Structure 1
Amino acid sequence: MNVYSVIVCYYPDVRSLLQLCQTLIRSRSAVIMVDNSETRGLVDPVQLPGCTWMPLGENAGVARAQNIGIRHALGQGADVIVLFDQDSEIDATFLPSLLSPLEIGIPKVVAPVFHDASQGYEFPSFRLTRGGYPIKVYNAGRPLPYDVDIVTSSGSAATAATFAIAGLMEEEYFIDLVDTEWCLRCRSKNIPIQVVPAASMKHTVGQASIDYGLLRGFIHNPTRCYYQVRNALLLFRKAHVPFLFALREALSELLHKSLLVATADDRRAYIRNCSRAICHGVRGIGGKQLV
């Protein structure tokens, strides 16, 4: 099986990146690193032997960077492509465990059990009801792979056949909900998505967490909040996204951002960006925006 790992980074910590790269190479994966940093030369490719380094010289967004790496991997004859962020933490058993359910030429997506690096709790995957409402799914000690509908892209793997059927990432989303939209596209084409309990990964999300009882979320800067709100509204325009799911996502984002505005120091920036996000989302304006 010809495995390629695509790592998207943005002003990365070189030590952590090197550790991830070395772990993947020892697991017999080719490694492609796509750098979204505006400043070139932050990383010396000599420090990352055995890896293909692709500096873009601009922040092209997660979706476009992933697509650049995926296209390169497919062009090199990849059977399976694994996606990572720069702060993904894995061990030597991760890749063999994750890829065990995959078969060459069969469309399928697999993902690990996902934990917060700082606080240790498990991030859920999601299973949609018949009407399209998302239900959180946790591992709960299950030993065997189990079916879900939405997973986080970091640490996930897909066969080349999957991309041939579902296509690549939606670049108009730039950063947030890219994986969600793509998973729902796979779902609409009956491509199975599974979580593999034997594969576990740590990851860092957001700058801090906000917890109001039943509502937990992560605090991101005003720019990220723009993309989160806008892209939630853009989901309504996708035929493969159930209306109930898009409605839940939009209302959840608006509620979370309302609480964030009430507690944040830089309220004006959050209000300005969220207002612009609503305007752009309703009008169907995507892509990178200067906010």
Structure 2
Amino acid sequence: MSDHALTSAPPSAGAVVVFFHPDRACVERANRLAAATRCVVVDNTPESSGAAALGLDPGITYIANRANVGIARAINQGVEALIRAGCSTAILFDQDSEPPATLITELPQQIARSEAAGERVALVGPAYDDPRLRGVAPFVRFGWCRLDRVAPTGHTPLDVDFLISSGSCINLRFWRDIGPMEDALFIDFVDLEWCVRAKRKGFRVLGIPWIRMTHELGGEPVRVFGRAYPMHGPLRHYYQFRNVIALIRRASMPMTWKSTEIVKLPVRMVIYCMWPTERARHLRMALRGIRDGWLGRLGPYDGDDT
């Protein structure tokens, strides 16, 4: 989060922060968030030391899984805690996301305006800025064999096909109608699958172009022919390749999205498996992911080679 205090959120708003081996800066971000809104921290760190040892604000609801149960289940746990507390919106954050001061006020307000207008809006979210990549990323809609990129400009919400989870605000009124995040996917494409499901059920997903959030995708990027691509470790590449294959095989996923992913798959294979060090491990995990995705083997990775 920014160095400035966050604007206080509406009373019915809440936030979920997912921890995994958090450092001191992650804890400080969560504490600043808790000063402005109801906050739930879900900790996926296996050897979690507890809220007090971490230095979390006593007002934070702390859920220690003491295992990496995946981003989907952690989000679901946090959302359910906010529902029990009477919240009507839930803003999701990764532990290292840097929201601007007004994000936790404006996103719930946008949901409230949509509700007042009788619109069925499931999710709203900001444009995100990763300075290591290409700056402010466009919003996206699915097109045939490519993503249609929508510039985050103007002061009108934009209908989009999906938003990344961190920084997005869920309308909890429709949470039961849409259903929770899919546990079996574990980490990658969790947000995309949920957005597709919401839109299939007639709900809208809106990008809010005038709100920008700093967010880093993946590890240190690699540059290929002058363009930066976010890089991950071999295990993340397993999940990425596994889940994209598993979702491509589902009739519920849009054909436009499938066509784009089929085009991108060999490019990803070359970049993610041929550019980093330990190329053999990256390639082996990607191929194992493709195999498990095709066979429908989801959930946490249960192999030995990570």
Give your verdict on TM over 0.5.
yes
Asked if 1:135 corresponds to 2:151, the answer is no
Which aligned pairs between 1:101-250 and structure 2 lie closer than 5 A? 101-103=110-112, 107-118=121-132, 121-129=135-143, 134-139=147-152, 141-213=153-225, 216-250=228-262
Asked if 1:36 corresponds to 2:44, the answer is yes
- Seen in structure 2, the aligned counterparts of structure 1 residues 205 and 76 have a Cα distance that, compared at 3 Å, is same
- Seen in structure 2, the aligned counterparts of structure 1 residues 277 and 32 have a Cα distance that, compared at 3 Å, is same
**Which residue identity is paired with 1:127?**
R
CA RMSD of aligned residues (A): 2.2
1:87 counterpart SS class: coil
1:144 counterpart SS class: coil
2:203 counterpart SS class: coil
CA distance in 2: counterparts of 1:157 and 1:110, whole angstroms: 5
- With 149-158 and 7-16 compared, the bigger mean Cα shift is at 7-16
- With 39-48 and 225-234 compared, the bigger mean Cα shift is at 39-48
1:115 counterpart SS class: strand
1:67 counterpart SS class: helix
2:211 counterpart SS class: strand
- With 98-107 and 50-59 compared, the bigger mean Cα shift is at 98-107
Residue matched to 1:52 = 61
Residue matched to 1:253 = 265
- Seen in structure 2, the aligned counterparts of structure 1 residues 242 and 190 have a Cα distance that, compared at 3 Å, is same
CA distance in 2: counterparts of 1:32 and 1:204, whole angstroms: 22
- Seen in structure 2, the aligned counterparts of structure 1 residues 117 and 222 have a Cα distance that, compared at 3 Å, is same
CA distance in 2: counterparts of 1:120 and 1:25, whole angstroms: 31
- Seen in structure 2, the aligned counterparts of structure 1 residues 149 and 48 have a Cα distance that, compared at 3 Å, is same
1:50 counterpart SS class: coil
Displacement, 1:42? 6.4
Given candidates 94, 100, 104, the residue that maps to 2:109 is 100
Given candidates 69, 75, 90, the residue that maps to 1:66 is 75
* TM-score, with length taken from structure 1: 0.90
CA distance in 1: counterparts of 2:13 and 2:211, whole angstroms: 16
Given candidates 14, 30, 36, the residue that maps to 2:24 is 14
Displacement, 1:199? 2.0
Deviations along 1:96-128, one digit per CA (max 9) or x if unpaired, are: 122221126954310011111545701232113
Residue matched to 1:286 = 298
- Seen in structure 2, the aligned counterparts of structure 1 residues 84 and 257 have a Cα distance that, compared at 3 Å, is same
CA distance in 1: counterparts of 2:298 and 2:207, whole angstroms: 30
**Which residue identity is paired with 1:128?**
F
- The answer to whether the 8 Å contact 1:6/1:81 transfers is yes
CA distance in 2: counterparts of 1:127 and 1:260, whole angstroms: 24
**Which residue identity is paired with 2:62?**
W
1:47 counterpart SS class: coil
- The answer to whether the 8 Å contact 2:123/2:206 transfers is yes
2:110 counterpart SS class: coil
- Seen in structure 2, the aligned counterparts of structure 1 residues 227 and 197 have a Cα distance that, compared at 3 Å, is same
Deviations along 1:45-64, one digit per CA (max 9) or x if unpaired, are: 55323111111100101011
Deviations along 1:7-33, one digit per CA (max 9) or x if unpaired, are: 1110012233323431x3343x21000
- Seen in structure 2, the aligned counterparts of structure 1 residues 46 and 219 have a Cα distance that, compared at 3 Å, is closer
CA distance in 1: counterparts of 2:259 and 2:38, whole angstroms: 40
**Which residue identity is paired with 1:35?**
D
Q: Which runs of 5+ in 1 are unaligned?
A: none
- Seen in structure 2, the aligned counterparts of structure 1 residues 197 and 224 have a Cα distance that, compared at 3 Å, is same
Asked if 1:91 corresponds to 2:100, the answer is yes
- Seen in structure 2, the aligned counterparts of structure 1 residues 181 and 100 have a Cα distance that, compared at 3 Å, is same
CA distance in 1: counterparts of 2:225 and 2:174, whole angstroms: 39
- The answer to whether the 8 Å contact 1:132/1:243 transfers is no
